[in-house]
Structure 1
Amino acid sequence: MNFNRIKCFYEDNSKLIKTVAVVLTLLLAVFLFLNYGKKQDNVIITDDSKVAGKSINAKSENNHNSEEYVFVDIIGEVKKPGVFKMKADSRVFQVIDKAGGLLESADVSNINKAEKVVDGQRIVIGKIGETSHSEPDEGVADGNSVSADGSGKININMADKNTLQKVRGIGPAMAGKIIDYRRENGKFNSIEDLKNISGIGEKIFENLKDQLTV
């Protein structure tokens, strides 16, 4: 009896039932498609994040590895004199801090603490009443004043007065002017800066430039 009723209901409403079935099938297909698309998007986003993270880490490591250093010798009235490895853009005051700071007897009146250090530089901190300097003593030749590349050129940032006079065309007066300029203005950025010194014109500079370096 029940079966006959169901059969009759199906026959009377077959079109409606088929239509509902088709609609439900389509809705299910759309639902599955949308959910699958979201999962794919999530996977892509996650992968992009990982790739971006790896790229940032790689750049950070490369920057760290490419960081340049210099070695600076500091002696005299500091707590821990010695040779220190410093970042290339370090200043004199940072080298002093690295050496444990100044002793009470230290005289830094002639020291430019804001001066940038260079590789192979020697900083001498004298006692009160003596001479402090962050460059070679004028009366003592300094081995670092000759370029390390084997060219034999004199480094105008490191050379003392006597060493400067070994350059053809530089006498005592001009050597003194170079030392004075260096004390007042800091290191030479290029040998062309010599033309800022009174008495060194274009012609004299042309005669000197091939013998000098910075």
Structure 2
Amino acid sequence: KNMPAKDISAKTSQWLEKLNIADDGKRKIEELSKGNQQKVQFITAVIHNPDIIVLDEPFAGFDPINQQIIKESIINFSREGKVVILSTHQMETAEKLCDEILLINNGKEILQGNLSSIKQKYGGNFIKIGFRGNSGFLTGNRSVLHMDCYNGYAEIQLMDGVSPSDFIREISSQTEILHFSIIEPTLNKIFIDSVKAASE
């Protein structure tokens, strides 16, 4: 739209080459594989150099190499000052590419805001402890909002207002603590815990 025909042709050739489908340039869309159809859809969304780009699950159907090409393109769009609105179920990808996050579950907003601020808000009360024996000493502890127990260690989200150091002092009389660290939660972890908290 609003692009001279020669510019469209040049840009199309550039993107076909970049996404490794230059040999398919003259084929009909229905003749292409699902992955290559996805590439054409991506090209259609960005070829006219829009200021705002909306991408719905842009990595679906791609192998890791092509996913990386799309990721690098999105990063370049952002560096150029474009607004990229990305819909994805891949939390790890969203964490790497997005500055602002809106998490939705079953059509309802769970969490919204700046990614750094969200991680800072949730990061202070996530800890990892290693201990000797089983995790029974954690059961029913009122300082614990959520925990995932494994063989010899646990990842714990503390209740708001609970200091990690105070918590360690509290449980030290109940078990032998082998190691302790404050961990930064992943976006996937924050999402899962936020959904659980909203359903309780």
Scaled to the shorter chain, the TM-score interval is under 0.3
TM-score relative to the length of structure 2: 0.26
TM-score relative to the length of structure 1: 0.25
The structure whose residues are more often strand, as a share, is: 2
The structure whose residues are more often helix, as a share, is: 1
Q: RCO greater where, 1 or 2, for CA within 8 Å and sep 6 or more?
A: 2
